[in-house]
Amino acid sequence: ILTMITLDRVNDLASITTKEELENDEELLKPLDRSIHEYAYWEQQIDALLALLRRKNVMNVDNLRKGVESIDKEIYNKLSYYERWAISVAKHCLETGVLTQEDLNKKYGPPLSSTNEQLFHIGDKVRVEHENYATRWIKPHLRTPGYLYGKVGIIERYCGLYPNPEYFAYDTT
């Protein structure tokens, strides 16, 4: 019987101690999905990037594996196959000096950090920016309705700091 075992389930499987527990696991009894699916453009780019780095002797499959295996378990289980590759490639390129932190910051902005710094003051003119699709690692849950993008306003009052829910959602505080 072909079964599909996702990497997310590895820890669960490690706790199985009897044949009966294994046979009663419904997830393991599902047939293996052997259908061919289309890869997203960004996934194709990651695959091509790894091929290029291999050809240039900058990175090899063992480096990729090391990087993937070094991802924190809780984060690892939330990532797709190619998201893991992307993180591994970026980490390796940073470690070997192919990329600098400044290169990544220029493209994706600085890493998320919680700050208590007041960014806007009464009288400041502000505009709701369109979403930047080039984000670091995990796509945040957007809390801004689309109809507000591009709207301009003036800060009328300061109501205090409100914690950014994205920090709580991804435990980055």
Note whether 104 and 94 are within 8 A (CB). Answer: yes
95 pLDDT band, cuts 50/70/90, is very high
pLDDT at position 93 is 94
pLDDT at position 158 is 87
Give, in order, the Cα–Cα distances in Å from 105 to each of 85, 98, 112, 135. Answer: 19, 14, 11, 10
Position 166 pLDDT exceeds 60:
no
Note whether 75 and 69 are within 8 A (CB). Answer: no
pLDDT at position 73 is 82
- pLDDT tens figures, 35-84: 777 888 999 999 999 999 999 999 999 999 999 999 888 888 888 899 99
- Residue of 91 and 168 predicted with greater confidence: 91
pTM over 0.75: no
Residue 153: helix, strand or coil by DSSP?
strand
Indicate the domain borders of the chain: 1-37, 41-99, 112-173
Determine the Cα–Cα distance for residues 59 and 86; give it in Å rounded to an integer.
13
Q: Which of 37, 36, 48, 30 is nearest to 86 (CA)?
A: 48
Place of tokens 């453009």: 41
- pLDDT tens figures, 104-152: 888 877 766 656 678 889 999 999 887 655 555 455 555 677 788 889 9
Note whether 172 and 135 are within 8 A (CB). Answer: no
CATH domain 41-99 topology: Cyclin A; domain 1 (1.10.472)
Position 173 pLDDT exceeds 50:
no
